[in-house]
Chains A and B, each alone.
Chain A
Amino acid sequence: MFSSFMVNAWIVGTIVAVVAGAVGFFVVTRGSSFAAHALPNGSFAGAAGAVLIGISTLIGLVVCSLLGALGIALLGRRGRPDVATALVLALMLALGSLFLSFSSQYAPAVYSLLFGEILGIGSGELAPTAGLAAASLIGLAVLYRPLMLSSVLSEVAQARGIRDFPIELGFLVVVALAAAMTIPVVGTLLVFTLMIGAPAAARSVTDTPGRAMTLSVAIAVGTVWAAIALSYDTNYPVGFFVGTISAACYLLGRLAAGVRRRPVHTPPSVPAAAART
């Protein structure tokens, strides 16, 4: 399980999990699950296009996911954000399917782009992955305070002179970088599931931002490690295990939260429950 070709999988899996756990905390807090789903999925078009014109897949992914972030932010400014996200995503996917039909690399390429091949990572992919991970974490650190304020109390943020659009765009760029970094190695599915499942589980256990973020990273790393080990043993795809384990973590978190909260609020009054949501 720890032979030479597996070492890369462990390292990259850990990097991905750390970034997904940290970025995902804000994805869940801001309620932007849809954008976090759309950016990784849509940047698949970039990979297909890069294969077609013969440049590095990673460049195609980065360019495409950044364009996607820009498109979602701009179209979402006027009109409904979820509609903008849906249409941008559909356009990117449609372009991807067009590029795919032009090139001769068919089903296996699609499959590995969407669901990832973490067990086939070469050591040449380590450096770019680490670089992009560092970029998105630095971006997150720079944005941290205004982003937190505008996620939790958007009115107060506006009153303080923090404008929504730059923050939203900056955040989407961070998500886009995180997405681009993960796709060639682990597929679009893995990053999205980690970005939602682990932070959601963490948030249902604790409300303190710092603690929830740390816990979210920890859960994400644990999920990836367990998934790689199980996948190595059973030969089933990593994505399957990541999806299942993340959902299980979320359910456990919800159950734990239910058990923890019940003795505190007996009986839970309706206004308090409404205020919490």
Chain B
Amino acid sequence: MTVLHHLFEPGFFGSGPVHTALLVSAVAALVAGPLGVFTVLRGQSFAGEALGDIGTTGGSGAYLVGVGPLWGFLVINVAAVALMELIGVQRRRGRDLATGIVLGSGLGLAALFLYLVSTHQSATGAAVTVLFGSLFTVSSATSPLAIAVAGVVLGLLALVGRPLLLASANPELATARGIPVRLVGFVFLLALSLAVALCALTIGSILSTALLIGPAASSLRISRRPLRAIAAAAGLGVAAAWIGVLLAYDSYAWPPRHQGWPVSFFVVALVLVIYLGCGVARRPSRSPR
């Protein structure tokens, strides 16, 4: 019993912010897992990372006009995806470049927005909140919106899932079968942008990649079958997020400042541990090449 007491600091289950944090992070991780598997399979980690970073622009813009950060993330990410598609993400070679250009100009805008926020509204914490997230301050009114967005993402994925899998594994075969590869890719990027917005709300815009890529890459290390990998990714993501929330709550009693370590740090650290662990778990079963 005392062990449990040490594991869950008093008040963990009764706290309102913790409930919201658990709910929102679980929703984000459940969505990020399946999307992440496709992102890794398609080699579009950079797009996911860029969307997260560009979310900074949306988050700071939202501070500027005074709406919830999730709205800012959503609007800017959809705009960025449309722009990337326009410049030419469909070619494998030019894709990273298009992503980089969009990312660069987006970050330029973010610099301007954050500058305006800090000079006009003297909200100095805004930069840290937007960049690194603060799960415990997410208002409970955000959760219905987060769940709705998650529903849309999973719906989109269900719609294009099978053709997307084929188009990711073998574009030529998919084209021959009459699958509109480019359209499917665009729908996927759209779903990805929404999922990244959810992750950004949870662990901050520049760390959202970890939740998207980490669990998915881990699950692909232990399973080659798409459905199983998707389920494993979602499970690992939720585990990392929840343990992260728990540790962050406990860390209020830890040195050096007795005011809590950031949630995002725990989530990212756990994700990395899981990734390395899955690599070790796989090694014995792999046939020598």
A residues contacting B by CB (< 8 A) are 28, 31-34, 36-38, 41, 79-80, 82-83, 85-87, 89-91, 93-95, 97-98, 100-102, 106-108, 110-111, 114-115, 187, 189, 192-193, 196-197, 200, 236-237, 239-244, 246-247, 250, 277
From B50, B105, B126, give the contact of A247 (CB < 8 A): B105
Q: Among B44, B102, B105, B217, which residue has the most Cβ atoms of chain A within 10 A?
A: B105
Query: B73: which A residues are within 8 A, CB to CB?
Result: none
In whole angstroms, what is the CA distance A108 to B217 when docked?
35
Does B94 contact A33, Cβ atoms closer than 8 Å?
no
Question: Which residue on B lies nearest to A196, using beta carbons?
Answer: B100
24 sample A-B contacts, Cβ–Cβ < 8 Å, listed by A number: A37-B49, A37-B100, A79-B217, A85-B45, A86-B45, A86-B46, A86-B209, A87-B272, A90-B209, A90-B268, A94-B267, A98-B265, A101-B260, A101-B261, A106-B124, A111-B114, A115-B111, A189-B108, A197-B101, A239-B111, A240-B112, A242-B108, A246-B101, A247-B104
Does B108 contact A193, Cβ atoms closer than 8 Å?
yes
Does B107 contact A239, Cβ atoms closer than 8 Å?
yes
Query: B94: which A residues are within 8 A, CB to CB?
Result: 277
**Known interface pairs A79-B221, A82-B44, A243-B106; 15 further A-B residue pairs with C-beta atoms within 8 A, sorted by A's residue number:** A34-B46, A36-B100, A82-B43, A83-B217, A90-B268, A90-B272, A94-B267, A98-B265, A101-B257, A101-B262, A189-B104, A193-B108, A239-B108, A246-B104, A247-B108
A-B contact count (CB 8 A): 185
Main secondary structure of the interface of B (DSSP, over half): helix
Question: Which residue on A lies nearest to B46, using beta carbons?
Answer: A34
Stretch at the interface among B127-135, B143-151, B180-188: B127-135
Query: B108: which A residues are within 8 A, CB to CB?
Result: 189, 193, 239-244, 247
Q: Does B242 contact A (CB under 8 A)?
A: no
Does A111 contact B262, Cβ atoms closer than 8 Å?
no
Report A124 CB to chain B, min CB distance, Å.
Answer: 25
Does A196 contact B40, Cβ atoms closer than 8 Å?
no
Query: A83: which B residues are within 8 A, CB to CB?
Result: 40, 45, 213, 217
Query: A93: which B residues are within 8 A, CB to CB?
Result: 132, 206-207, 268
Query: A108: which B residues are within 8 A, CB to CB?
Result: 118, 124
Query: B275: which A residues are within 8 A, CB to CB?
Result: 87
Report B99 CB to chain A, min CB distance, Å.
Answer: 7
From B101, B125, B213, give the contact of A87 (CB < 8 A): B213
Does A95 contact B107, Cβ atoms closer than 8 Å?
no
Does B101 contact A107, Cβ atoms closer than 8 Å?
no
Query: A239: which B residues are within 8 A, CB to CB?
Result: 107-108, 111
Question: Which residue on B lies nearest to A247, using beta carbons?
Answer: B105
In whole angstroms, what is the CA distance A41 to B206 when docked?
9
Q: Among A98, A107, A244, which residue has the most Cβ atoms of chain B within 10 A?
A: A107
Question: Which residue on B lies nearest to A30, using beta carbons?
Answer: B96
In whole angstroms, what is the CA distance A192 to B102 when docked?
12
Query: A250: which B residues are within 8 A, CB to CB?
Result: 101
Q: Does B281 contact A (CB under 8 A)?
A: no
Those 5 A-B pairs whose CB atoms lie nearest each other, nearest first: A243-B108, A94-B268, A90-B210, A193-B104, A239-B111
Report B237 CB to chain A, min CB distance, Å.
Answer: 13
Contact of A94 with B264 at beta-carbon distance under 8 Å, contacts A114-B131, A239-B111 already known? yes
Does B109 contact A240, Cβ atoms closer than 8 Å?
yes
In whole angstroms, what is the CA distance A95 to B271 when docked?
13
In whole angstroms, what is the CA distance A200 to B87 when docked?
13
In whole angstroms, what is the CA distance A41 to B112 when docked?
18
Query: B11: which A residues are within 8 A, CB to CB?
Result: none
Q: Does B6 contact A (CB under 8 A)?
A: no
Q: Does B82 contact A (CB under 8 A)?
A: no
Residues 221-263 of chain B: 1 if any A CB is under 8 Å from the residue's CB, otherwise 0?
Answer: 1000000000000000000000000000000000011011110
Query: B127: which A residues are within 8 A, CB to CB?
Result: 107, 110-111, 114
Q: Does B162 contact A (CB under 8 A)?
A: no
Does B128 contact A200, Cβ atoms closer than 8 Å?
no
In whole angstroms, what is the CA distance A248 to B53 when docked?
20
In whole angstroms, what is the CA distance A237 to B127 when docked?
15
In whole angstroms, what is the CA distance A101 to B256 when docked?
10
Does A86 contact B213, Cβ atoms closer than 8 Å?
yes
Query: A90: which B residues are within 8 A, CB to CB?
Result: 207, 209-210, 213-214, 268, 271-272
In whole angstroms, what is the CA distance A41 to B46 when docked?
13
Does A80 contact B40, Cβ atoms closer than 8 Å?
yes
Q: Among A38, A101, A277, which residue has the most Cβ atoms of chain B within 10 A?
A: A101
Query: B93: which A residues are within 8 A, CB to CB?
Result: 31, 277
Report B40 CB to chain A, min CB distance, Å.
Answer: 6
Report B131 CB to chain A, min CB distance, Å.
Answer: 7
Query: A101: which B residues are within 8 A, CB to CB?
Result: 257, 259-262, 265
In whole angstroms, what is the CA distance A83 to B41 when docked?
10
